[in-house]
């Protein structure tokens, strides 16, 4: 009888050399005080985020915010120890999207998210006493992944060096769907990456920066050097919204906040002003 030779492990070895810019599931840890100032996070490419923390008694509220990188479905599952923890998701417009009812055994749910909209998650204890620990699983099934590789929320704009000055900026235009993803590496503090666009309509741009390796800051100014917007990655603020005006040219600068290199994926979603 012929024996089959054992298969080689080439495949397993290849899997270990993942592209550095592919970001897999992220964990967001509860850092107090977050009762009033929500902690901001972004979804990695696989759409999987864990939020872990402690609901310290009845009075502790833990707030987290994120911007939907695309439209899609969010599945939520709450696990807790030493007591029950309730989760609530609201949209920025005040609508209540989802609420778990741990005392009725309802610890999961789903919600439909809209691209570019901010959402807020609140976690708090539903137990009479004690401080339950929670582990919330969020699985976002949008189009962030794009089927492995090229993907991204919108049209990808990959930086091309040198782009260290406004005159060398990588130029892009927003496509019909309004979504763009800037991709690149901020190689230490000295590497400035400039991108540039001219608003073809007035409206709002919602931005979210996801970076690995180092914190990466985004700044926006007009071509006349008027500051428009900046993120504060050291404070956990990696996104927001700014207004743009028809015909004005905007410069976006991405820069590492440390000597380390940060690979970034920056999603920009344009929403025109309704006339």
Q: Closest distance between Ca ion and the C-beta of residue 15, in Å?
A: 27
Question: Segment near Ca ion (CB under 5 A), from 23-31, 131-139, 146-154, 198-206?
Answer: 23-31
Alpha-carbon distance of 73 to 91, in angstroms, equals 14
With tokens 């996104």, the residue in question is: 239
The region of 99-107, 192-200, 218-226, 255-263 touching Ca ion under the rule CB under 5 A is 192-200
Q: Which of 193, 253, 262, 270 binds Ca ion (CB under 5 A)?
A: 193
45 makes contact with Ca ion (CB under 5 A): no
Cα(197)–Cα(242) distance, integer angstroms: 14
- Tokens coding 98: 């989802």
Q: Which CB atom, from 47 or from 184, has the smaller least distance to Ca ion?
A: 184
Stretch that binds Ca ion, among 67-75, 191-199, 208-216, 239-247 (CB under 5 A): 191-199
Q: How many residues bind Ca ion (CB under 5 A)?
A: 11
Question: Which one of residues 45, 90, 170, 191 is an interface residue with Ca ion (CB under 5 A)?
Answer: 191
The Cα 45–Cα 210 span in angstroms is 10
135/50 Cα distance (integer angstroms)? 6
Give min distance, CB of 53 to Ca ion, in A: 5
Choose the stretch contacting Ca ion; rule: CB under 5 A; options: 92-100, 150-158, 182-190, 244-252.
Answer: 182-190
Query: Does the protein bind Ca ion through residue 170 (CB under 5 A)?
Result: no
Q: Taking CB under 5 A as the criterion, which residues in 147-166 touch Ca ion?
A: 163-164
Using rule CB under 5 A, residue 212 touches Ca ion: no
> Is 73 or 190 the residue whose CB approaches Ca ion more closely?
190
Residue 136 beta carbon to Ca ion: minimum distance, rounded to whole angstroms: 12
Please state, in angstroms and rounded to a whole number, the distance separating the CA atoms of residues 85 and 82.
10
153 near 115, Cβ under 8 Å?
Answer: yes
Using CB under 5 A, pick the residue from 34, 125, 231, 238 that binds Ca ion.
Answer: 34
Query: What are the beta bridge partners of residue 54?
Result: 133
- Helix (H) or strand (E) holding 167, with range, is none
How many Cα atoms within 13 Å fall on the side-chain side of residue 98?
23
Rounded to a whole number of angstroms, the minimum distance from the CB of residue 1 to Ca ion is 59
Exposed (0-12), middle (13-18) or buried (19+): which is 201, by Cβ within 10 Å?
middle
* Per-residue CA distances from 60 to 28, 86, 131, 235, 274 (Å): 17, 12, 9, 21, 40
Does position 261 bind Ca ion by CB under 5 A?
no
- Chain residues in the site for Ca ion (CB under 5 A): 30, 34-35, 53, 60, 62, 163-164, 184, 191, 193
């Amino acid at each position: 009888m012929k024996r089959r030779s054992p298969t080689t492990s080439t495949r397993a070895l290849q899997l270990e050399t993942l592209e550095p810019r592919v970001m897999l599931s992220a964990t967001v840890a509860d850092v107090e005080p977050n009762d009033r100032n929500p902690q901001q996070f972004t979804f990695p490419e696989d759409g999987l985020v864990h939020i872990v923390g402690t609901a310290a008694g009845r009075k502790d509220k833990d707030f987290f915010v994120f911007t939907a990188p695309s439209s899609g479905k969010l599945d939520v599952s709450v696990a807790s120890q030493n007591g029950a923890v309730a989760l609530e998701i609201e949209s920025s417009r005040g609508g209540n999207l989802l609420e778990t009812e741990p005392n009725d055994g309802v610890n999961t749910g789903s919600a439909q998210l809209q691209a570019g909209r901010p959402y807020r998650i609140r976690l708090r204890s539903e137990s009479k006493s004690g401080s339950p620990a929670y582990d919330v699983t969020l699985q976002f099934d949008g189009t962030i992944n794009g089927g492995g590789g090229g993907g991204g929320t919108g049209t990808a704009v990959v930086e091309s060096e040198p782009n260290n000055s406004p005159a060398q900026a990588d130029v892009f235009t927003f496509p019909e769907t309004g979504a763009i993803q800037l991709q690149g590496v901020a190689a230490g503090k000295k590497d400035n990456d400039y991108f540039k666009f001219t608003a073809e309509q007035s409206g709002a741009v919602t931005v979210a920066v996801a970076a690995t390796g180092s914190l990466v800051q985004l700044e926006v100014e007009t071509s006349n050097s008027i500051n428009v917007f900046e993120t504060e990655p050291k404070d956990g603020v990696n996104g927001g919204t700014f207004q743009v005006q028809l015909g004005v040219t905007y410069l976006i600068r991405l820069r590492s906040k440390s000597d380390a290199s940060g690979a970034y994926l920056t999603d920009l979603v344009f929403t025109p002003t309704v006339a």
